[in-house]
Amino acid sequence: MDEIDELETERRRLLALAYRMLGTVTDAEDAVQETYVRWYRLSDADRERIENPAAWLTRVASRICLDMLGSARARRERYVGDWLPEPLPGESAIAAVVPIDPLDRVTLDESVSLALMVVLESLTPAERVAFVLHDIFAVPFAEIAETVGRTPEATRQLASQARRRVRERRAGAASREQHDAVARAFAEATATGDLSALIALLDPNVVLRADGGGKVSAARRPVVGADRVARFLLGLPHLEATATIDPTLTPEGLAFLVTIDGRADSVISVDVTGERITEVYIVRNPDKLTLWR
C-alpha cells in the first residue's frame, strides 16, 4: 500500500473519530480536511521525520476538534431550539469503522448512538476528547496528554470522569433486541393512534426533543411527560398528510425515517431504558440529513 492509499485509509478513521467528538458529519469533515491541509503544508523533510504518520494525524485532528468544541458551545447558545447530534444511517462508513477486536463492535455501534452522543454533549471538551480517544479508539494516555495539554495522569482523570458520567446516564440502557422490540411497539401504537398503548410504552418522565435548526418547524422546547409526548406524537401525521414513516436501521438499532414526496424530512429515534422509552429524538434540520438523501 503506497502513501496515498494509507492516508486515505486513515482519513476514514479520522472522520469516524471526529464525528464522535463533534456530533455532525460536516464539522467532522471540516476537521479532517484541516488536518490534511496541515499535513501537506509540511515540507517533505518534515514529513519524513514523522515516524508514525497515523499518530501525528490523530493528534492534529483531535486538537482541531478540541478547538472546535470550544467555539461550538458559543454557537449552540445561539441555536434555534434544541441542538441534537446528526443521526447516522446503519450503512454509514462513519459507523462501520472496523475495530481491532470484533468483540468490540457493539461498543463502537453504541459510540455513534444518538443517546450516547447526547451524553457526550454534556462533557467538557477535554473530557470528550479524552474519552473518545481512549475508550473508543484505544489511544494511550501519554499521546492524549499531548493533545489536551495535560499530564498523562490528569488525562486519565479526564477520561475517568467522562466514563463515570456516561455510565450514570446510560445505566439500564436496553439491549439492541429490547430496544428494537419497544421501537416496533412504539411504531405500531403511533400508526394506529392508540393513545393508551403509546403512553404505556413511555416512561412517566419521558422527554421529546426536536431539532429543526430554525430552518424547518420543530418544537422549540423539550416536551416532557408521557401524556404530553404521546399526544404530540399522535398529532404529527396531521401536520403533513403526504408524509410516510418507514422503519430504518441505524447503528443503535431501529429508528424511523419520515419522507415527504420522496425527500428525507426527519429521523425519529428512541432511547429505551428497561422496557420504557425515556427519550424521543426528532432530527429535522436538513443540514443533518445529508446522508439520508
Residues 7, 9: Cα–Cα separation, whole Å: 5
Does 6 have pLDDT greater than 90? no
Cβ count near 211 (within 10 Å): 27
Does residue 119 or residue 96 have the better pLDDT? 119
Cβ count near 126 (within 10 Å): 22
Does residue 98 or residue 274 have the better pLDDT? 274
Match 446528526 to its residue by C-alpha cell.
86
pLDDT of residue 106: 39
Does 24 have pLDDT greater than 70? yes
DSSP 90: T
According to the 3-state scheme, what is the secondary structure of 196-247? Answer: HHHHHHEEEEEEEEEECCCCCCCCCCCEECHHHHHHHHHHHHHHCCCEEEEE
Q: What is the pTM assigned to this prediction?
A: 0.91
Q: φ and ψ at 204, to 5 degrees?
A: -55, -30
What the block records as the C-alpha cell of 129 is: 476528547
pLDDT of residue 243: 87
Q: What percentage of the chain has pLDDT greater than the value 90? A: 75
What the block records as the C-alpha cell of 205 is: 418522565
Does 100 have pLDDT greater than 50? no
Match 413511555 to its residue by C-alpha cell.
202
The tens digit of pLDDT for each residue in 203-235 reads 999 999 999 999 999 999 999 999 999 999 998
Residues 36, 22: Cα–Cα separation, whole Å: 18
Does 13 have pLDDT greater than 50? yes
Residues 120, 136: Cα–Cα separation, whole Å: 13
